[in-house]
Amino acid sequence: MKTSIVRILSVCQKEILQLVRDRLTFGMVVMIPLIQLVLFGYTINTDVRHVPAAVADHLNNSFSRQLALDVQATQVLDFKAVAFTPAELERMIRDGQVAAGLYIPRDAERRYYLGQEAYAQLLIDGSDTVLGAAVSALGKFPFQPGNVVGNRSQTEALATRLFYNPERRSAVSIVPGLLGVILTMTMVMFTAVAIVRERERGNMELLVATPIRNVELMVGKIIPYIVIGLIQVAIIVTLGVVLFRVPITGSLWSLFAACLIFILANLTLGLLISTLAKNQMAAMQMFIFVFLPSLLLSGFMFPFVAMPQFAQKIAEVLPLTHFLRIVRGIMLRGQSLTTMTDDILFLVMFAFIFLVISTLRFSKRLE
């Protein structure tokens, strides 16, 4: 039988009409590349700028003020707070209030003019290796105060002290981030097809005949995945410690509690997708539309502070952004949950709101 161009074109026409009539698929074909190209083209930036920092100035004269202003003029650091002691700078870095600190001792000016190295010190949060490397580059900052003529030859103008990852091992930063990425990928994807699968397999008729309420069905759907998620957490944390020597400086119970809240947030997001999608293919398309921004905007691949303000605002509505702050704070900086209440409360409210919306959207009536 000879191949017919007419028959091939007829099939092509049928597929095109089907794509046009399927608004979700057509929207994904057009909107995914458009939105993500524009969004990620502006937000993906490896040049770290405007890192929130604090300064502890024990010298407090024109020399130290010019030093702080010149460091800020590099646009790598933005001094958002003032500390009184180096210990307070360390506490602010540990609690996540700032990512770096500049300590100017009382003898900084004397050390400068005597030609001594490291007349001031940079304290840096090394839990993000890209951010830590960018700020550490300020160690050779070419400072020239007042009317001094000529360049002062100095190999290290500012001493740098890297906290939480002094060896600058990328695994220390990546493994805690991978914990959030893997949980996002699996938890959202599993539940995104949960209700849709019931409909496609014909199990919805059985649910309609039962006296179960919507909220009971939703809770029953997510409980098994909570257990699966906690098993994943145990596997990832164990392998991270054994294979990659990732430290856990904070409480292990706090880590699992934070993971539990994050799992709930992802599961409720997946349930909402499940109530919106008509089939499993549509559910997977919605999942990809949510997952890619989470992967690129949360601070996992690129420093959060390097993104423009509008991208940071978008990232703030993503659960992964808040979880990365929490998990890095617990595992690397030894923070407690009480010092991260804003991020914890966001995840709790996110899970509650999306569970309510999913429950209201779900209907046991057959279409």
pLDDT per residue as tens digits for the range 291-303: 888 888 888 888 8
pLDDT band of residue 167 (cuts 50, 70, 90) is confident
CA atoms of 215 and 234, how far apart (whole Å): 29
Average the pLDDT over each of 20-29, 56-65, 119-128 and give the range with the smallest value: 20-29
Query: Is-contact 99 53, C-beta < 8 A?
Result: yes
Q: Considering the chain, what is the average pLDDT of its residues?
A: 84
Helix (H, G, I), strand (E, B) or coil at 117: coil
pLDDT band of residue 147 (cuts 50, 70, 90) is low
More confident residue, 2 or 17: 17
pLDDT band of residue 215 (cuts 50, 70, 90) is confident
The residue-averaged pLDDT of 26-30 equals 64
The residue-averaged pLDDT of 45-52 equals 81
DSSP notation for 323-358: HHHHHHHHHTT---GGGGHHHHHHHHHHHHHHHHHH
pLDDT value, residue 366:
46
CA atoms of 218 and 212, how far apart (whole Å): 10
pLDDT band of residue 179 (cuts 50, 70, 90) is very high
pLDDT band of residue 55 (cuts 50, 70, 90) is very high
Where do the CATH 3.40.1710 domains begin and end in the chain?
51-163
In angstroms, the first-to-last Cα distance of the chain is 43
Q: What are phi and psi of 104, to 5 degrees?
A: -110, 105
* Residue 119, phi-psi category: left (phi > 0), alpha (psi -120 to 50), beta (remainder): alpha
Q: Quickly count: other Cβ atoms within 10 Å of residue 13's Cβ.
A: 10
Examine the pLDDT at 103 and tell me if it is beyond 90.
yes
Examine the pLDDT at 320 and tell me if it is beyond 50.
yes
Burial 285-318 (b: 16+ CB within 10 A, else e): bbbebbbebbbbbbbbebbbbbbeeebbeebeeb
pLDDT value, residue 25:
64
Amino acid identity of residue 188, one-letter, is V
DSSP notation for 264-333: HHHHHHHHHHHHH-SSHHHHHHHHHHHHHHHHHHSSSSS-GGGS-HHHHHHHTTSHHHHHHHHHHHHHTT
pLDDT value, residue 365:
47
Q: Which of 45, 112, 114 is nearest to 307 (CA)?
A: 45
DSSP category for residue 152: P
Burial of 67 (0-12, 13-18, 19+ CB in 10 A): buried
The residue-averaged pLDDT of 106-119 equals 84
Q: Which of 136, 166, 156 is nearest to 48 (CA)?
A: 136
Average the pLDDT over each of 27-41, 52-66, 184-198 and give the range with the smallest value: 27-41
Helix (H, G, I), strand (E, B) or coil at 116: coil
**In which residue are the tokens 């009184």 written?**
84
pLDDT value, residue 83:
92
Examine the pLDDT at 169 and tell me if it is beyond 80.
yes
Q: Quickly count: other Cβ atoms within 10 Å of residue 51's Cβ.
A: 24
Query: Is-contact 76 124, C-beta < 8 A?
Result: no
Examine the pLDDT at 341 and tell me if it is beyond 90.
yes
pLDDT value, residue 92:
93
Average the pLDDT over each of 39-48, 163-172, 266-275, 308-317 and give the range with the smallest value: 39-48
Domain covering 51-163: architecture: 3-Layer(aba) Sandwich (3.40)
